[in-house]
Structure formats: structure tokens, C-alpha cells
Structure 1
Amino acid sequence: MSFMQRTVSTVPFLLLVLLFAAPLQARSLPDFTELVEQNAPAVVNISTRQQQSIRRQMERFNIPDIPENSPFGELLRRFFGEHGFDLPDQEREQRSLGSGFIISPDGFILTNNHVVAGADEIIVRMNDRREFSARVIGSDERSDIALIKIEAEDLPVVKTGSAEKLKVGEWVLAIGTPFGFDHSVTAGIVSAKGRNLPSENYVPFIQTDVAINPGNSGGPLINLDGEVVGVNSQIYSRSGGFMGLSFAIPIEVAMNVAEQLKSKGRVSRGWLGVLIQDVTRDLAESFGMQHPQGALVARVLPDSPASKAGLQVGDVILSYNGTKLKSSSDLPPLVGASPIDRPVAVTVQRGGRTLEVMVQIGELPPEDAIELAESHAPKVMSNRLGLMVSDLSREQRSELAVPPYQGVMVDSVTGEAPRIAGIQEGDVILMINERKIESVQQFNQLVAELPANKTVAVLVHRRSGPIFLALRMPAE
């Protein structure tokens, strides 16, 4: 058979393969049209109006120089005082846009707290162009969730799903009002789960690459089953616009907050009462752990559930209520979602042993109420680490909120090992190698006994808070 004959006979086969491959490739991409038709009627545009008073700085009407006996001078002083008067504050109307979605036929709507916070008027516009005035039932700044209500009946509602069942890489879509463009639809995938942001440790955010912009806040994140799995809340951006990092509040968290706001007007969260940090590779080695995991307790707040249960500084929390902790960020959402006044099993590693501690979870107090209940001739001594340390005075303990009878002040750092570990002048060393430090003499004795080239955990207290550092002991 000639080359030309082989080529001609191969063409129909190739065409057949392409004809079958095209539908298969098309079917591999999701069709969002049905999901949009199903959910769009329950997604609303939220516009707010707020009157803001703007103080006029350095603006003052002063009485001009007028002859002493002039009748105009007397008239001006009578009305404006001896030295004039401050110009009145200006009133300015501020408007903002956001999104939300209906969760009950009688008009309850979920949105973000920052969408409606401080609003004097809230207008909800439906997909069919109807408009309603809304009132705030309750809001929770910590989770950024608000529950609002419009007076209407037989409204379309969304179907809620489960954020816990979401998988990284799964398709999701968002419906909202970016930059005022009503009912815009964008799609992407789940980039990660359980993200903790600096603004909030009690919300395990869903990270996506769905295009979210100002105005999308409060709108739903929807999976391919047409279920709402999250509330779009934040973006990471250096420009103010979408950069591929969007964050949504899991629907379980949002609905729990909504139920509490509806039933009692406020949100209660579980509280353990510890300050924690990640376990680094070096710290894991110092604790005799095979690999970094869990949450390292850097401080136990007095009169807290953790304190009453006997949790200690230096404990590594490995699991909480049966859930293993990969990192410290896994712990706050679990604690926050725990029922109050219920016992919870907490597994910790302490001194090379694994223990189970039962903790009666309390209610998270307001932020301003979470505080520590905590003879100036300090003795200064040096040691093999090249650290000059001194005993703390009563005034220093009070100023730095250091626990009584614990800790030594670092006055200077001359050794290479503590400098590499990150120990600084002004640090208060509270613990080394899981032993509490009570005095300069005891600290230097412990340092002298530690074997060379061993990595030990050092707990230091700073104005920003306590932190564990991994210190590798120098060779003899």
C-alpha cells in the first residue's frame, strides 16, 4: 500500500476520533445555566444609606477688627460670642452596595455585617426588580455575618449544602452585585479550606479563585448541586480588585450565627482560654516529636477553662474532641463551635507523654475582658549562652504583666546561639526545656546542665505576647 493510500484510509478514522472526543471534552466542563436559573431569584442586591457627620477641622469664623465703639461690633459679639465660633459639622450621605440571599420564605436574608453596619436605611432589590425596606435582626462583627428581614411572603429561597463536604478543586460559582452590576455570575474552583485570616481566627474560611469584587460581599457561593456552601466575604488584593484570592464563610458557620441572632440577638462561642502558636520543626525536635503538629500552648489565661482543667504552658494540643490538629490554626474554629458548659476531651503531649484532659468549655468573653490576671535590685549574671539576665523588679512584673515568681530579664545578647534563635534584649525568659524559670541563679544552673548540640524550647514574654523559640545549645 502506498503512502498516499495509507494517509487517505487514515483520515476517516481520525475524523471519527475527533467527533467522539469533542462531546467528551465538552461534557467535562460544567454547565452553570441551570444553577443560575435555580438560585438567582433568591439572591438580592442590598443598597444602604448612612448619614455621616464630618467635623470641620481648623475652620472658624473670627470677628474682624472693628472700632471699639462701633454698633456692629456689639451686634456681632452678641450673636457670635467674644471670639467668634466654630463652623458647624458637615453632613454627608454615604451609600454602599452589597449582596445577600434569602434563607426563608418570610423574608429572612443573610449578608455580611460590613455590608449593613451603621446603615440608616437598607433597601433590598429582588431579581424581579421588586424593592423592599429591610431591618437588621442582628449582626456579628467577629464572623462578619448579619441577619436582616424584609416584610414579604412566599419568597424564593436558596438550598443550603455543606462546606465540610467541599473538596479542593471542586467547581463553585458566585452570584452578586460587583461594582453595582446586578446579579453578575462568576465561577472558579475551591483553592483551599480552613483558612485562618488575621482578621478572624474563629472562621475557617473557604478560599476560591472565583472573581469577587466590591459589591459581591454577602452573596452566595454555590456548588454544582445548586447548594449554597458559603457566604462570599473578603478578597486579598493589593489593587482593591480581584487577584485570584477570594474567601467565603462556610455556610454551617453562617447559619449557626443566623440562628443565634434570630433566637437571642447575640452570638455565643466556646472558649478555652489559651494563647497558642505553631509547632515548628525545631520546636518539634525539642519536644521529642517526630514531626510538627498540633497547637503549642504559650500562655494559659487565669480563671479560664484551660486553667481550671490543668492545661499548662508548654503543652502541645494534639487533638480536640477527637479531631486531630495539623496546625495551631485548626484549634480556634473547633473551640468556637463547641457547646458552652460541656466537657470536651483534649489530648496533649507533656514532657514526652501523651495525656487526655477533660475541659469544661466556657463562653468567649468580650475582647476587652480577655486580660491576664497576673525589690528593684536585680542580680545580673552571664552564662554559657552569652546571655546577661537579671531578676525582675515588682514594677517590671506589673508593667509587663509577667506572672509572679517567674522569669528573668534579658539585658544583653552576646552569644551566637540565642541570637540565631531570636532571643532579644528586653525579652523575659519564662521557661526553658519545659522547666519554669524562677530566678537568675536557677536559670544559669539549668543552662549549665543542658547537653551540647541539643535543641530546647525557650518560652519568652514580649510586649506583643508570649512566644516559644527553638534554641540549639552550643558545643562545650
Structure 2
Amino acid sequence: MKKLCTNAIIMFLFVVSAATSTTAAIPDVSAASQSAVVRAVKLVGPAVVNIDTTYTPKRTGTIFDLFPEFFGSPMPRQGQGSGWIYDGKNGYIVTNEHVIENADQIIVTLPNKQQYEGKVVGADRLSDIAVIKIDGTNLPSLKLADGDKPEIGSWAIAVGNPFGLQNTVTVGVVSAMGRTIETSDGRRIEDCIQTDAAINPGNSGGPLCDINGNVIGMNAAIRAEGQGLGFAIPASTIRTIVPQLIKNGRVIRPWVGFAYADMTPRLARRLGIDYVEGVIIQVYRGSCAEQAQLRTGDIIIEAAGKPIKSSEDLEAVVKPLGVGDKLRITVWRSGRQYKVVLTLCEMPPEY
């Protein structure tokens, strides 16, 4: 029994010694990471702004509008969000479109408390991106991160002004890429970054940055039904949309002129037609699709020489094209194949 106890003590001392040795060999990663985050925040902070908006609702056209002396005029509404300086030389600031939507007045406050009146240069509802301009020059600005997509698991630093608090910072990681989100006001934003960095309502429009202080995305939305889920518009989208807004005041998108859905056996039965693998379309009146002699009920089975078996196949073919480009399409109609050439047009604002 005594020998057993002695052996146990020796074994215990060996384990403790090994554990101590192992612990001592591990570098202090947390301190290094913390220092890197602090450096990134110091780089980003001076270029993050607060955006205050005022919006006066239009009269509703009801009987109450006939008696303003009794019912009064619509009361102005206040809004708040974040933004970041995209071009400090020319005073261009990027934010979410929903932050400045319908605003009658925009006030931009820099971290040094200096205020400017902002003017909308361009706004795009589909991507939820807007550009505003202030008279300031030689302002600190942020750089978009190189590459199209950050790595999953890499640092994500969200900076903004939730509830009007200057430069509030939350830190997390990039959890996933390519997410499609639907916001509370009905927007459907594609190809978003998912992060566990806390994104509060006032953070909308603020930058989501990497450990080097470069912008990997723009804070866009939170999921009310689940904590720990935040989303950001990726830098690749910002890189495409913002120059168009600055140049044209709007985004010029190519349009095929039809709505579409995957053809399935169940859908074929409902429509009373034979099942053919492809994408069934609904043609909009007066569109380029109608001009190309496409018809509602046509099933696209080939485009640009590639078989079309799903909506994703069609979108992959159309995505690289621009306004005025031609797309050769093969459709199945009434038991026969037809070939058409579709010239893509500009997407109307109502779509």
C-alpha cells in the first residue's frame, strides 16, 4: 500500500511538471491579438462618422389634412446611423441607403465633433448602399480590403455609433459568407458576410474591418429573432456600387425583362404541361424580353451555349453581362425548341 502511494505521488508530480512546462511554452496569443485589435480601431475610428437625419412625412390625403389648424401638420421624425469616409479628399461618405432614405436633412458629425450638412450623391435600394457628400476636404478615409472575400474565422471589427455613442466597437469573427438576408423593411440583400460581432441598429452604415483596419464590409442588419447574428454588405459589392453612385447617381443594372423560377414536376402538373428541365419565365410587358419574342410560359433550357437546369445556372450566365450585351437563348415552347437572341436592357427603377 505504501509503495502504491509513493508511485501515485511521483506520477502526480510528473503530470504537474509536464503541465507547467507545456503552459510556459505557449505564447501569449491573446495579448498579441488584443494589441492588434487596438491598433486597428485607432486606424478606423477617425474615419467613422455619425449621421443624423430628419424626415417629415408627407400628408396622407385624408380628411385630417383639410383641417391642419385642428389636427396639426405631420411631425418631423429623427433617424440616426453611422457612416465612414470613403474619399477624404472629396468628402464622400458611404452608408446604408435605409439610413438616409427619405431624409429632408442630413447632418454628419465627425469624431472631432465637427458637423457638416450632407447631400445625397446617389442611393441604391437593392444593395442598401448610399453615398453622401460633405464640404470637408483632406479627411481621414478608409481603404477597402484587397480580395473579394475575407476568410471564415478571421477577425471582424464592427465600428459605429449605436444610439449616438461615438465610435462604439465590437469584435468577433467572420462566421460565414454568401448569406442572403431579408430586412425588416422588406429588402433582400444577397452575398452578405455573417459575423458574431454585435451589430446594433445605430451601427448600420458603419464599417466592418479586418485586423489591419481595412474595410471588409459595411454593417447592414441584425437578426431580431436570434442573438449573435450580424450581417454586412461585402467590400466586393461596395467596390462595384459606390463608383457608379458617385459617377451616375444611380446603379445601372442589366435586365433580362422576365421573372423566372425553377421548373419542377409538381409545377408542370399544376400548369398542365409536360415536364422539361429548365427555368420557366414570365415576360414583362414592354421589356427587352418581349422585344426578343420571348413569351410567358417559355422554358429556358440553354443560354450562352450552356445547359440551364436551375435558376442558379441562368444567374451564373447573366451575371457577367452588361446593358446592351446579347444573350443567345434556347427555349422549350409547345413541344418545340426555339432559339432567340436577347439584348439586355437597363433595369427600370420600379423593379
Q: TM-score higher than 0.5 here?
A: yes
C-alpha distance in 2 between matches for 1:50 and 1:58: 22
* Residues 162 and 202 in structure 2, CA contact (< 8 A), matched pair in contact too: yes
Secondary structure at 1:11's aligned position in 2?
A: helix
* Greater mean deviation of Cα atoms: 19-28 or 94-103: 19-28
Structure 1 residues without counterparts, runs of 5 or longer: 62-83, 290-294, 371-476
Match of 1:11 in 2: 16
C-alpha distance in 1 between matches for 2:310 and 2:214: 30
Match of 1:20 in 2: 25
Q: Structure 1 109/326 Cα, relative in aligned 2: closer, same or farther at 3 Å?
A: farther
Correspondence list, 1:78-157, <5 A? 87-105=70-88, 106-157=90-141
Match of 1:231 in 2: 218
Structure number with larger C-alpha Rg: 1
Match of 1:365 in 2: 348
* Residues 187 and 210 in structure 1, CA contact (< 8 A), matched pair in contact too: yes
Q: Structure 1 42/91 Cα, relative in aligned 2: closer, same or farther at 3 Å?
A: same
Match of 1:34 in 2: 39
Counterpart of 1:314 (choices 299, 306, 317) is: 299
* Residues 263 and 276 in structure 2, CA contact (< 8 A), matched pair in contact too: no
Q: Structure 1 52/283 Cα, relative in aligned 2: closer, same or farther at 3 Å?
A: closer
Secondary structure at 2:136's aligned position in 1?
A: coil
Q: CA deviation at 1:197?
A: 4.0
Q: Amino acid of the residue matched to residue 343 of structure 1?
A: K
* Residues 153 and 173 in structure 2, CA contact (< 8 A), matched pair in contact too: yes
Give the RMSD, CA atoms, in angstroms.
Answer: 4.3
Q: CA deviation at 1:152?
A: 1.4
Counterpart of 1:339 (choices 286, 307, 322) is: 322
Q: Amino acid of the residue matched to residue 348 of structure 2?
A: P
* Residues 163 and 250 in structure 1, CA contact (< 8 A), matched pair in contact too: no
Counterpart of 1:206 (choices 190, 193, 197) is: 193
TM-score by length of 1: 0.58
Q: Amino acid of the residue matched to residue 204 of structure 1?
A: D
* Residues 196 and 329 in structure 1, CA contact (< 8 A), matched pair in contact too: no
Match of 2:157 in 1: 173
C-alpha distance in 1 between matches for 2:261 and 2:104: 41
Q: CA deviation at 1:29?
A: 8.2
Q: CA deviation at 1:204?
A: 2.9
Q: CA deviation at 1:168?
A: 3.7
Q: Amino acid of the residue matched to residue 83 of structure 2?
A: G
Q: Amino acid of the residue matched to residue 15 of structure 1?
A: T
Q: CA deviation at 1:225?
A: 3.8
Secondary structure at 1:193's aligned position in 2?
A: strand
Q: CA deviation at 1:42?
A: 1.0
* Residues 54 and 105 in structure 2, CA contact (< 8 A), matched pair in contact too: yes
TM-score by length of 2: 0.76
Q: Structure 1 122/208 Cα, relative in aligned 2: closer, same or farther at 3 Å?
A: same
Deviations 1:105-149 (A, max 9, x none): 221001112211222321111122222222112222232222111
Q: Amino acid of the residue matched to residue 98 of structure 1?
A: G
C-alpha distance in 2 between matches for 1:195 and 1:60: 44
* Residues 328 and 340 in structure 2, CA contact (< 8 A), matched pair in contact too: yes
* Greater mean deviation of Cα atoms: 326-335 or 297-306: 326-335
* Residues 190 and 206 in structure 1, CA contact (< 8 A), matched pair in contact too: yes
* Residues 163 and 230 in structure 1, CA contact (< 8 A), matched pair in contact too: no
Q: Structure 1 280/358 Cα, relative in aligned 2: closer, same or farther at 3 Å?
A: same
Deviations 1:399-443 (A, max 9, x none): xxxxxxxxxxxxxxxxxxxxxxxxxxxxxxxxxxxxxxxxxxxxx
C-alpha distance in 2 between matches for 1:129 and 1:359: 53
Q: CA deviation at 1:211?
A: 1.4
Q: Amino acid of the residue matched to residue 298 of structure 2?
A: V
Counterpart of 2:51 (choices 46, 50, 69) is: 46
Q: CA deviation at 1:305?
A: 4.1
C-alpha distance in 2 between matches for 1:321 and 1:246: 40
Structure 2 residues without counterparts, runs of 5 or longer: 1-5, 269-273
